[in-house]
Each structure stands twice: as C-alpha cells, then as structure tokens.
Amino acid sequence: MDLSWSVADTRFRQEVREFLAAELTPDLRKAGHSLTSVYADYDIGMKWQRILHKRGWAAPAWPVQYGGCGWSVAQRYIFASELASAGAPPTSPMGVGMCGPVLIGHGTAEQKAHYLPRMLSGEDFWCQGYSEPGSGSDLASLQMSARDDGDHFVCNGHKIWTTHAHVANWIFCLVRTSREKIPQLGITFLLIDMKSPGIDVKPIVSLSGEHIQNEVFFTDVRVPKKNVVGQIGDGWTVAKYLMQFERGGGVSSPGLKVRLERVRAMSEAEGIEDEVFSVKLAQAAIEIAVLEAVEMRVMSSLSQGQAPGAESSMLKMASTELSQRLTELAVEAAGLYALPYQPFSVSAGGPSPNYRPPSNQTPVGPDYSWTVAAKYLNDRAGSIYAGTNEVQRNILSKAVLGL
C-alpha cells in the first residue's frame, strides 16, 4: 500500500481546506472545538450535514451511484484529517455511517431508492434499536417481538441506550420474528417509522448531564413487511455486517491526533514539566500512529469492496481506549479547573435538562478546561457501546487466534 501523497492528493487537500475555510461558520467551529460527546447536538450536526450534502461530500464511503464521493483511500483519510484539524462538528453516524451501508449491501432496489437520498439530505434522521435492558453485549438474547400479521409485523418491546431517539424520525431495529434453539436465528432487521402509533420515547441523562440516550417502548406498533432488510429471520447476518462499519468503518486517528496536541498545549499552558506525564503523552502518540497504520489498511480493503472483518473489533477497542486515556490526561493537565460543571460554556451532544444556569454565566478557568470533565464522564461509555471491549477481545481471540 503506497502511503505517499501524490500531486492529486495534495491538490485535493487544498480543495478541502478552501471548502472548510469558506463553509465552517463560527458557530460550527465553536461547536466542533467544544464538544463533550462523540455526537454533536442535533441542530448543529444537521446544519453541517446539509452543507456537506450540498457539496456532495456527505457520504465519503458510499459508492458514487448512491451519492458517494468516489474518493480514494488517501482522499478519505485526508478529508477526515482536515475535518479534525479545522474543528468541524461530527454528523450523526446512524444513518450515513451504519444504516446506509447496510441498505447498500442488503437492501432492495426500492429501499435504496427511497431511503438513501433522504439519509444524505437529512430529511430522515436515524437512530439504532439494538440494545435492550437484558440484551446488551449478549445481543442475540434480545426479546423485542415482531408478530406476523399478514402484510405487517406487530412489534412489542423495549430498546435502551438509543442515541438521539428523541429527535429521530426513523429507527432500524433488531426484532425477534421467531424463537429457535439457536438465539441468533429468528432475528429480523426492521426499519420502523418513529411516528408510528405505539412508540414512546423516554430520556436517559448521562453522567455528564446530557440528554443524548433514550429508552424506546413499542406497544402494538404495526410495521409493513416491506421494511425488512435482508431475509426474515436472517437479521443476525445483517446486524453483523452493520457492526463491522459501526466498529471499524471510519477513521479515528486524525481526531485523536488533534486531541493529543490540545492536551499537550494544555500541559504547556499549565506549566507541567513532569517527566512521567511527558512519557504518557509520548506513549499515546505512538499508539495513535499504530492505530493510523491499521486504519489505512482497513480503508484500503474497504475501497476494494471488502468488509472490515475482525479488524473492526481491534479498531473499536484501540480507538475507544485511546480516547479514554486522552480524557484522563486532559483531567490531569487541567487540574482543579476540571472541577466546575458549566455546560453553558461547551457544545453538548444534547440538552442538560437538570441544569440551572447561574445568573452570572462567566465560565470558570481557561477555555481549554471547560470541556474536560464532561468529556471525561461522557467517554466512559466508549468501551461499552458498539459491543463492549471485552466482547471485542473475545471476537479477536476466535476469529484471529482461533481460540
């Protein structure tokens, strides 16, 4: 794999930089630099997605015939790097990053024609209905039922940890259409309109005080069978395909590099000269460089039409644990300035419903410290979501080591 930048790559980087300089408004830049979550607020994320969609850059990894960019592996990496360096806010991964690739790989022609353009434009905003109160890492034990009723399924059940369900108008769900001896059988991948009668969304407020996650209750929700993706009863195959993109279909190293440099700058501003802390920064830099090399290899496979495979588990595990370590280093660097809780000074992934702003809203401490505590608390979920890192290690031990 050739990792050198060609003349065309250099021109493309300049094109991206000019685009970002022109289109990243001050509010978008502020939101990107002051994120406390892996998700942007709905309004900010959608504003940025519409700008990308207008340029034709909303789905870098999709095939051109479905609205993708047709970029090379190098161009996709350059784009991700420039977004991170410029402080662009993230767009929601649920539609374009997860459900979209599933429809491209397993959907019908009618499903692709209807849903994919609406994902790109933001007309449809998606959430993911996988986890249940008793079925998280052991996802095959899920209980949400979909009873056959002619041309429809009647769905009953309870999903949890559903990101942005309170603003989504569609959800892709794993439901149980039959009970078999092997729990992975009898599961179906189903697209459900969130406006359907019988759906109730209740908020979950995280440790950082943000309302990003939700519980979703389904009571006799009728869903057309045409909304099945893949085959009825074979949803586990579709789910595994999606998880490869959820865990390892993107690029994390550029953003981690930017965050590491911010921690380094923070430590310099605070006058930290501790040798042990310097070693921690150096170790993080080395591991980010290794992660970058693996991501390049996976992106090369994706560009040739291959799925990420077991490497997606390694990427998910390494990137989330590195991210958590960076939040710990940021807390160490910020010191006492990390203590105040001041969500009014940051860009949260959702509202802070239990917070009452003070009459004097002047933030405490230097601006580089404002996101530190909330980001630390929010990132504790990184090693749990998309399959716990313990599960990822099990997958690697079986698929790679043959244990």
For the chain, the structural domain boundaries read 7-103, 126-242, 248-399
Question: Minimal CA–CA distance to 115: which of 155, 171, 180?
Answer: 171
Residue with tokens 């991700």: 80
Q: Check residue 281 and give its pLDDT.
A: 96
pLDDT at 302: 65
Crossing angle, helix 253-269 and helix 311-334, to 10 degrees? 10
Q: Residue 274 in contact with residue 341, Cβ under 8 Å?
A: no
Task: Extract the residue ranges of the chain whose pLDDT is less than 70.
Answer: 1-4, 244-250, 302-309, 359
pLDDT of residue 3: 58
Q: What is the pLDDT of residue 319?
A: 92
Instruction: Specify the fold of 248-399.
Output: Butyryl-CoA Dehydrogenase, subunit A; domain 3 (1.20.140)
Identical topology for domains 7-103 and 126-242: no
Phi then psi dihedrals of residue 168, to 5 deg: -80, 150
pLDDT score of 309: 67
Is there a contact between 363 and 401 (Cβ–Cβ < 8 Å)?
no
Per-residue CA distances from 193 to 97, 196, 221, 259 (Å)? 19, 6, 10, 37
Please check whether the domain covering 7-103 is classified as CATH 1.10.10: no
pLDDT for residue 102: 94
d(CA 127, CA 203): 14
CATH of region 126-242, choose from 2.40.110.10, 1.25.40.10, 3.40.50.720, 3.30.460.10:
2.40.110.10
Residues 6+ apart with CB under 8 A from 42: 92, 125, 164, 167, 350
